[in-house]
């Protein structure tokens, strides 16, 4: 859907003959099978097109064992979009009813219950956060922040209050549709995009601030391309908003954080929107000491393991990828692993809990700013 036939053919041709990005492919490093690398996927997709292979269980497993984190395109000398090629192939698999059973079940459940997670208005009200139903700013929370990472949502609400910026949330906020787009359920993504657009328009706002990176990317382009009409609505990510508040002294730092910290760049923010400066400016304002960069950072930052909805099909591979990134963080000597996305936080925390390596603490950048401001 997002690649023309010419772009698709050129990407297949390029990927199936090239190994240049192997060093950047975390899934290939974990699984250690050529078929699970970008070159392997390119060759398999070529085989599918030529009728040499069937859309069977093995092919589906390979296509759904992918991070789709744009690292491959970033490394590619030809700038071929391997991520969209994989998503396009997932869509063909999904349409044929050949997707893994857990993927089909996940998509079916999300279609049936698009408003999963707790009511953000109730979460914020219980925490003493003030909202304004007449505000023209909407905080789009995302399912993860309404579910397992509610501390991030509460911190964001408190920062809005301290900055003196009125805002509101959707009590019945639906999923952005990002997950279904990634899983190849394009029809479901269209339905959710239309629902999200309807809810945003009903809220009568001029600006939407996204709390999680995936919702941000969806709202910044995919929602409209899937038919959701949000044209004219300004879309921002919370990191950019917090940076502006700090620059304008709308947030006052009470006590700088003394813990040694490192920062994980979410794939969407670093590679799709190239926003690597906002979080680093924020950290420079709230940390007592300089933070420690990981071996791979900014546009070259390795994925947390949540990319491509990998955990829906291969939670084991997702966890291994997360542990590899956590190990990078530990190598800096930091005691805090700071992230700019609730889904990254959730993925890291699950991996740390599963592996019993709790010698580094995961914290969202929003929570750290609130702590420095004395309102956590």
DSSP string for 22-78: GGG-HHHHHH--GGGSHHHHHHHHHHHHTTSS---HHHHHHHHS----SHHHHH-TT
Q: How confident is the model at residue 340 (pLDDT cuts 50, 70, 90)?
A: very high
pTM score? 0.96
Residue 357 pLDDT exceeds 80: no
Nearest CA to 212 among 235, 192, 185?
A: 235
For residues 337-374, b (16+ Cβ closer than 10 Å) or e, as one string?
A: bbbbbbbbbbbbbbbbeeeeeeebebbbbbbbbbbbbe
pLDDT, mean of residues 139-147:
95
Nearest CA to 96 among 129, 122, 65, 59?
A: 59
* Residues 175-188: tens digit of each pLDDT: 999 999 999 999 99
Locate 185 and state its tokens.
């359920």
Alpha carbon dihedral 246, 248, 250, 255, in 10-degree steps, equals 40
Structural class in CATH, domain 251-372: alpha beta
pLDDT at 2: 85
**Residues 34/40, Cβ–Cβ less than 8 Å:** yes
**Residues 335/258, Cβ–Cβ less than 8 Å:** no
**Residues 129/161, Cβ–Cβ less than 8 Å:** yes
Averaged pLDDT score across all residues of the chain: 96
Q: How confident is the model at residue 116 (pLDDT cuts 50, 70, 90)?
A: confident
What is the Cβ-side half-sphere exposure of residue 234, based on CA atoms within 13 angstroms? 9
pLDDT at 205: 98
pLDDT, mean of residues 27-44:
96
pLDDT at 117: 85
* Residues 79-105: tens digit of each pLDDT: 999 999 999 999 999 999 999 999 999
* Residues 177-226: tens digit of each pLDDT: 999 999 999 999 999 999 999 999 999 999 999 999 999 999 999 999 99
pLDDT, mean of residues 35-44:
97
pLDDT, mean of residues 253-270:
97
Dihedral pair phi/psi, residue 76, rounded to 5°: -70, 125
pLDDT at 1: 64
Q: How confident is the model at residue 110 (pLDDT cuts 50, 70, 90)?
A: very high
pLDDT at 248: 96
* Residues 275-288: tens digit of each pLDDT: 999 999 999 999 99
pLDDT, mean of residues 255-272:
97
**In which residue ranges of the chain is CATH 3.40.50.11810 found?**
251-372
Q: Is 340 helix (H, G, I), strand (E, B) or coil?
A: coil
> 237 Cβ partners below 8 Å, 6+ apart?
209, 210, 213, 216, 269, 273, 275, 278
**What is the topology classification, in CATH, of domain 120-244?**
Glutathione S-transferase Yfyf (Class Pi); Chain A, domain 2 (1.20.1050)
From the centroid of its chain, how far is CA 278?
A: 17
Residue 233: CB atoms within 10 A of its CB come to 18
pLDDT, mean of residues 15-24:
90
* Residues 286-320: tens digit of each pLDDT: 999 989 999 999 999 999 999 999 999 999 999 99
């Amino acid at each position: 859907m997002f690649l023309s036939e010419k772009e698709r053919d050129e990407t297949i041709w390029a990927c199936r003959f090239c190994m240049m990005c192997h060093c950047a492919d975390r899934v290939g490093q974990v699984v250690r099978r050529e078929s699970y690398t970008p070159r392997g996927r390119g060759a398999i997709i070529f085989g599918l097109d030529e009728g040499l292979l069937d859309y069977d269980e093995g092919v589906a497993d390979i296509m759904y064992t992918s991070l789709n984190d744009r690292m491959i395109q970033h490394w590619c000398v030809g700038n071929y979009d391997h991520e969209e090629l994989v998503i396009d192939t997932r869509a063909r698999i999904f349409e044929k009813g050949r997707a893994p059973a857990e993927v089909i079940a996940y998509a079916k459940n999300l279609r049936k219950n698009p408003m999963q997670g707790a009511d953000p208005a109730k979460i914020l009200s219980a925490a003493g956060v003030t909202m304004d139903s007449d505000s023209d700013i909407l905080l789009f929370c995302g399912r993860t922040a309404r579910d397992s990472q509610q501390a991030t949502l509460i911190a964001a609400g408190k920062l809005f209050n301290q900055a003196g910026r009125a805002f509101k949330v959707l009590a019945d906020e639906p999923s952005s549709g990002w997950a279904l787009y990634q899983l190849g359920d394009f029809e479901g993504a269209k339905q959710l995009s239309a629902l999200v657009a309807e809810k945003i328009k009903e809220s009568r706002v001029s600006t939407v601030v996204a709390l999680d990176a995936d919702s941000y990317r969806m709202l910044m382009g995919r929602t409209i391309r899937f038919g959701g009409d949000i044209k004219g609505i300004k879309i921002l990510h919370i990191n950019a908003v917090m940076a502006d508040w700090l620059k304008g002294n709308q947030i006052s730092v009470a006590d700088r954080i003394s813990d040694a910290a490192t920062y994980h760049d979410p794939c969407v923010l670093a590679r799709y929107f190239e926003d690597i400066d906002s979080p680093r400016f924020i950290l420079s304002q709230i940390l007592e000491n300089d933070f420690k960069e990981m071996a791979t950072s900014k546009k070259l930052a390795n994925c947390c393991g949540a990319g491509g909805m990998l955990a829906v099909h291969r939670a084991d591979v997702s966890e291994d990828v997360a542990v590899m990134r956590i190990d990078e963080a530990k190598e800096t000597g930091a005691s805090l692993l700071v992230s700019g996305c609730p889904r990254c936080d959730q993925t890291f925390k699950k991996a740390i809990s599963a592996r019993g390596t709790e010698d580094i603490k995961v914290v969202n950048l929003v929570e750290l700013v609130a702590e420095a401001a004395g309102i956590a």
